Amino acid sequence: MDKSLEALQKNLSVGLFLPPDAVKWLLDLFHAFQIFDDFADGDPVDRKDLNLLIWNTLVGMQQNPFYAANSYCLSSIVGLNILKWQASDTVERAGSADAKSYNWRAGYYDIVLAVVQIYHGPEFAAQNAHIVLGLYGETYDDYMKEFKNA
């Protein structure tokens, strides 16, 4: 596991007190988003990552006990965030990346916040929402540099 995933895992399990099944599902989802984004950008994808992506998206994530118990709301939130990513990708490819599209790309952390709310309840989620949303590691400046150099 690379350092960014290790840090995310620690933040989810130790910092936010999420159970192992929820952490596993969130990490699998993060990996899937990253690999799908690599495909969309034409970046090389390692065969090991592709095999893991295929398994996790078609089998593993649906069998995860946390997801299975909460799929009725999580699937809608994931769908919404796919649409947000597609919106950001559309404007980025058109050369119109801006603060709004940067915000749309951070949708994964909306899903993390939803998991926190499901597991801990709305009061805990509200008290910690700024921490959850602050986990997004890419800065706006780095985001804009990516598209100015493209």
Average pLDDT, the chain: 94
E strand segments, the chain: none
Question: What is the per-residue pLDDT for 3?
Answer: 83
In 3D space, the residue among 71, 60, 67 whose CA is nearest the CA of residue 21 turns out to be 67
Q: How confident is the model at residue 1 (pLDDT cuts 50, 70, 90)?
A: low
Report domain extents, the chain.
3-148
Question: What is the per-residue pLDDT for 36?
Answer: 95
Per-residue pLDDT at 149 exceeds 80: no
Name the strand (E) or helix (H) holding 120: helix 108-120
Q: How confident is the model at residue 4 (pLDDT cuts 50, 70, 90)?
A: confident
- Tell me: the pLDDT tens digits for 118-137? 999 999 999 999 999 999 98
State the Cα–Cα distance between residues 5 and 8, nearest whole angstrom: 5
- Tell me: the pLDDT tens digits for 57-94? 999 999 999 999 999 999 999 999 999 999 999 999 99
In terms of DSSP H, where are the helices of 42-64?
Answer: 47-55, 61-63
Instruction: Give Cα separations from 87 to 28, 32, 76, 82, 93 (angstroms).
Output: 22, 18, 17, 9, 10
State the Cα–Cα distance between residues 7 and 12, nearest whole angstrom: 9
- Tell me: the pLDDT tens digits for 6-22? 999 999 999 999 999 99
